[in-house]
Amino acid sequence: MDDTQGVSWLRDEDADLRAMLQALEEARAASADGEVPVGAVIIHPERGLIAKARNAKETLQDPTAHAEILAICQAAEALGSWRLEGCSLYSTLEPCPMCAGAILQSRIERVVFGASDSRWGAVDSKLRVLEPGLFNHDVDWRGGVLETEASELIRSFFRGIRDGTHKGSQSSSRPGPESRK
Ligand SMILES: [Zn+2]
């Protein structure tokens, strides 16, 4: 980082990396739970970290239990308001249409994601739900932050399932990852 583009750029870049590292920590914990490893955190401009969550679709048997949705609910609870104005959401994976919709609904100001998702990505890959002017709320977004780490987590999770070496799930009451799609 020798090409100084200005202190503020460096500061923002640092903040994005720090927040994404926390989201990656959540993603790793999801993997240990036998969940597809996706993590999300929400940063409030004054209060800092107000939510961190990981994918819990299998654990909760809830199709809406994506990391971003759980983080948005946590943040709304922390603020006592559904309006997450000024907040930034960090997700290790590009948000899907459901999560992109929730991001718009909650008035989040900025979204940063790690890996792109060619199958479900609704920010840039499959759809562009956050396109400026499309709805009455505009969201800034940036992708590719710690992309390699985020996508490698997901790749190795599915590799583990294929090889039968995945040993994340501790609960035997749930079906093993092998039986999942
Ligand atoms: Zn989602």
Ligand 1 (single-atom ion) residues, CB below 5 Å: 66, 96, 98-99
Cβ contacts of 100 within 8 Å, gap of 6 or more: 122, 123, 127, 129, 130
* pLDDT tens, position by position, 59-112: 999 999 999 999 999 999 999 999 999 999 999 999 999 999 999 999 999 999
Give catalytic residue positions.
68
CA distance linking residue 47 with residue 55, whole number of Å: 24
* pLDDT tens, position by position, 2-28: 444 445 555 678 999 999 999 999 999
Q: Calculate the alpha carbon distances from 96 to 44, 80, 125 in Å.
A: 22, 25, 10
CA–centroid distance, residue 64 to ligand 1 (Å): 7
Residue 157 has pLDDT above 60, yes or no: yes
